[in-house]
Chains A and B, each alone.
Chain A
């Protein structure tokens, strides 16, 4: 390869990475924590804690719905699996003539706890917020956000490929990480986090684009299907909608149906249940398998008559293309993954986050030595340096703030879930501002240290409230124990990073002195 080509790829890598770097960092970090989405959900609704008993929960859910919404058009019941204890329900009221159909209102949702009793839990978006934010962002229209995120993901793919071309000694340097060598260390760290988890980075970026491909590249679908409904019917065949018979008939017990469906799928767990026209002779129960037992997110369904319990429809195997897309999305989201594999996903995600972060810091470190006047750097340099602080150190702090808001906001507060999110953005805004106002090194140390203390504080707060680590351990609720331990561990890691940055003294290299101090090997240490 000619030097000119490699040089052009190097510039492409630098700028495609820098322009979207902060967004990529955000997407990567939010996506990474989303591998524990259900566990965060559970942690953020401590009222729901307990061991899972899916059949009891479903029976409780049905009893609740029969009391609350006996004449609804549809009931939707999520079946608790290994990660959640209770069930969230929502129902679609019978549409009234002349009124638009209602959707997703708060008064048509409820929670059922692990004992099958309806539960009044604090209002929160839980881990779902991190998950949605990583492709829908917030405060902006969803479609714009998805196009923007798609653009950034495409830039990521460009940065990865051009990075591979630029990094000519990719195999020779495979095991090379030189410590405490300033810029060299940053470059090694950037390369190591990139190369060691390269299969993950390529996979996650590519399949991430696949998840939203119908939005980005609708032409094939538009050219062949006049209506979206038709396309969906062709892609995801489902049992035909039913008409209400108008003859009341009691709903059969759902538990034998769950057992039957599970047996037909060779013992797979149940993910969700939909009951259409409950209490009517035409009622139907559609049971869908959980996404935890297959890589593909396209899971099979079976429909039963709600009056007799007879099986009336079964989804056949999805078509090749649908299955391929389902597998790609499945590999991206890791919902099938056991805890062990989830940890590996999580670590790879951290690797990707550190890769993006170290790339951003490297841009600054590389240019610092070449500044004409180190005491008065030009605007672009200052902007990148300070934005780095507000994102790389500020976002983890803001996310911790979100968890704290979950514990501190009054349980009965109006639009509580929204305020948890506002709290996150308020903390983030403050961190960004502090990044610009404080001296660079102090800002790094302060924000990392604060994040560490705040993370460690969360399990301690719960412990003092009497239902933390020890309470969960006594109750055998290992998911909650795991969440608490992970928060503690992350807190310690952030304190270690802060200490490393604090202690870092750049060696006076060559003649020119390095003015501000970069948190050189700190983040890399955190990845260890």
Chain B
């Protein structure tokens, strides 16, 4: 359950990154439409919310919410490192 919470948080942050022009360009090599941006943004926040629900389900409301903050930081750091790898990788596949 905790692993799922981490996965949900990572998917959430990746979606949030995809809703930003700069990172969308890096990952998908094209501009995003405004519908896509909206979809990524909702999916992103949704992912973070699901992560909170999972953490609370596994650890209870009090400890779960504290754990969730830790999971968020960890997930965001992983996504950041992943994106910086993608951004610094040589262009073209």
A: residues with CB less than 8 A from B are 172, 174-180, 192, 196-197, 199-200, 203, 295, 331, 336-337, 340-341, 344-345, 347-348, 351, 527-528
Contact = CB atoms under 8 A, between A and B. Distances in A.
A176 B83 CA distance: 8
B73 A341 contact: no
B87 A331 contact: no
A128 to B, nearest CB: 24
B81 interface: yes
A351 B73 contact: yes
A351 B77 contact: yes
Nearest to B14: A175
A197 B70 CA distance: 8
A331 B73 contact: no
B63 A172 contact: no
Nearest to B71: A344
A295 B67 CA distance: 12
Given A175-B79, A344-B67, 6 more contacts: A175-B13, A179-B88, A200-B70, A331-B66, A340-B67, A344-B73
A348 to B, nearest CB: 6
Q: How large is the interface on B (under 10, 10 to 19, 20 to 34, 35 or more residues)?
A: 20 to 34
Contacts of A174: 16-17, 76, 80
Contacts of B84: 176-179
A200 B20 contact: no
Nearest to A345: B70
A340 B73 contact: no
B62 interface: yes
Contacts of A527: 77
Contacts of B17: 174-175
B83 A175 contact: yes
Contacts, number: 69
B64 to A, nearest CB: 10
A489 to B, nearest CB: 16
B2 interface: yes
B80 to A, nearest CB: 5
B89 to A, nearest CB: 10
B69 A200 contact: yes
A345 B69 CA distance: 10
B20 A178 contact: no
18 contacts: A174-B17, A175-B17, A176-B84, A178-B84, A178-B87, A180-B88, A192-B77, A196-B73, A196-B77, A197-B77, A199-B72, A200-B69, A295-B63, A331-B66, A340-B67, A341-B63, A344-B67, A345-B70
Contacts of B77: 192, 196-197, 351, 527
A456 to B, nearest CB: 25
Contact of B73 (A172, A179, A348, A528): A348
Given A175-B23, A336-B63, A341-B63, A196 B70 contact: no
B67 A197 contact: no
B80 A196 contact: yes
Contacts of A179: 84, 88
A192 B80 contact: yes
B74 A347 contact: yes
A177 B83 contact: yes
A351 B79 CA distance: 15
B88 A178 contact: yes
Contacts of A180: 88
